[in-house]
Structure 1
Amino acid sequence: MGTWANVLFAASNWFVGEWGAEWVTLNENLLTLFTVTFKTTNHLDLSCNKLAMVIVDSTKVDFRCDINETVTQIILTGPGVKSICSLYISGGRNVALHQSAEQTSTYTENTKSYFASLAVDGNTNCYFYNGSTSHTGSEPNPSWTLTLDTPRVVNRFVIYNRADGAINRLKNFNLTAFDINSKAVWSYQDQNPETALIYKFTRFESDPVSKIRIIPTSKETYDIQYILTLCEVLMYGDCVPGSWGLECNKTCPVECPGSCHQGTGTCFICQGRSDPPLCNTACPSGQWGPNCTNQCGISCYNASCDRTTGQCDKGCNGFINPPFCNTECGINTWGPNCQFYCRTNCYNMSCNKVTGVCNSGCIGYMDPPNCIVGK
């Protein structure tokens, strides 16, 4: 091994929506001693946003970043670089494979029907008579629709056109994505002047997608009406936050309800606990939130708060409305839940809402703010 300060990986074009990587190291003491940065196609430096990390075992660690950019370089720095054995990079999985597809009509030739499902069967042999291309009949408004079994966050699309002719039917197609309520959340209109055999495009929005619809806008010169043919449609993405599993039908643990490893369900972040991925060490007194990174508010009595919500669990100090403790004590009152009155030896009976000392001076006493020594 070397003692490199950094390692750079370059590619012609990587899209990163939720970027994931797994390092395999030879030294478990260096397992997490990495920093990851990126360079965009415009040569701008980009940091790892919303870094999530889970230790897989004594030699593997999984990192994830939210990066809505196209990047050309991934740069690793830090002491752990010298111990890297392997690096695996993922931009998501094909969530369209074998999902429910339908089209407005189906073309049949010599008893062979070219169903909508042929465009999500995993076969990218795009010669028509090999039987792996969907094909509508000739009609005024054909369309092809894919419905996912559960909503997914989709970042990238790859569409394979028919390869042996009639390729102009897909030119300038329109793709619309819908949410679970059939509301359109995103649309892509192909603007390429030339017809392509493979179309690749990205989506930067994070709204979950439940369904997509593809509509043709072009015809071959000999076509009377529109016809839509698709060899294969791939959609890369992953589960929506809070779910995990191959089918995204499992719920993240209560310790990390909004963020867990989408392959294993282990926690990147522990809510009210400090030790991901196990999440079995509760936050110490005075701390709360994800990985115990927040301090209980000064308005909480004895700086004590709920380890998950941050709300004051033992009442307020200088405030009157537990557990929120965001309404200050009224005039002349102070202390836990404002139960005490300011002393009469405070000027105008005005005192500090937390400590009770005389903020505005004394009446008949000479030692503000305590006001206990007579004149």
Structure 2
Amino acid sequence: MYSCVRVFVGLLAVSRLCCAYENLALNKSAEQSSTLPSQADAGPMRAVDNNTDQILSSSGTNCARTDVSSIVWWRVDLGEIRSIHDIRVYYRNDSDGYVQNRVLSNAGFSLYVSDTTCDGYTGGHLCYKNNDTLPQLESDHLCTRHARYVTYYNERGEGVILPPKADRTQSTTIAELCEVQVFGCTVGIYGENCDKECPINCRNKQCDIETGACLQCNDGLKGERCDQNLTILMTVFAPQQANPSSSSNTTYIAVAGGLFLALIFSVGTTITLALTLRKLKGRQANNSTDSPTTEQSGNYVSVIGIRDSGHQYAHLGVNRTDSQDWRDSNQYLRII
């Protein structure tokens, strides 16, 4: 931790955003896209060793340096999700004769924070993109987010967004990061001295690092400190008063509709009664017929009538359409 200071470099003032937040990146695990072949010891850990000297040492090992490429990146793992306040970057700045070259190399860079590395080097939240002016060789960027990984990213090529006055003829660039500091607090703590606890009802104990306001509340709660019960309001709409003229029109339409339906019902009832009477008359006419009943099955026709005979069963007479004896073949007449 350190106290707030303001550093003047020539006529350019660099305001430090952080006062006493913890350097969360110090001695944490880091990686980068490549390492300059001539400086094998200029690996990614050189940017988290608490050495902010921007003048390259004779051994060239006090800064992390990638190889020249169209895409360069450097990333630090904070070990777990932390509450970040700001990110400060110290670039190589050891020669006045080549200061412009250092600036142009870093032009267009981006800073990302993320919870995972699964989305690539540009996944997560974009905290800063250099696209308006050429960058300073020491810069501080506000980034109040909760994240685990912090990534520096830069590229060259067609369609890449660069600030005005950047050299767009370059097809490659290099990252020379002497120190990257990530200031913030442990999750659940806020305040510039990291000495205040987030409200107990903040979801995942995450609150704004400056104000302590909860980023989200536990279920059923609301408010900056999540100390109020969530009320669900139901709006009931009162019926609108009808227009008198429209009301009378509606009444007329209803009466007319009722009369029409009554007429249809009356006609339908009359037709139904007429059909029913017609069927009944037809049945009565059939029942009053005196002719004998004729039954037909296959080729046999039996006529049942009454004959005057003295035999007990002689009154049953049968006429057949063929010459065979009806007693031998008729399956429908039996003497009981």
- Shorter-chain TM range is 0.3 to 0.5
TM-score by length of 2: 0.44
Structure 1 or 2: more helix by fraction = 2
> Which structure exhibits the higher relative contact order, with contacts defined as CA atoms closer than 8 Å and separated by 6 or more residues?
2
If the length of structure 1 is used for normalisation, what is the TM-score?
0.39
Q: Which has the higher strand share?
A: 1
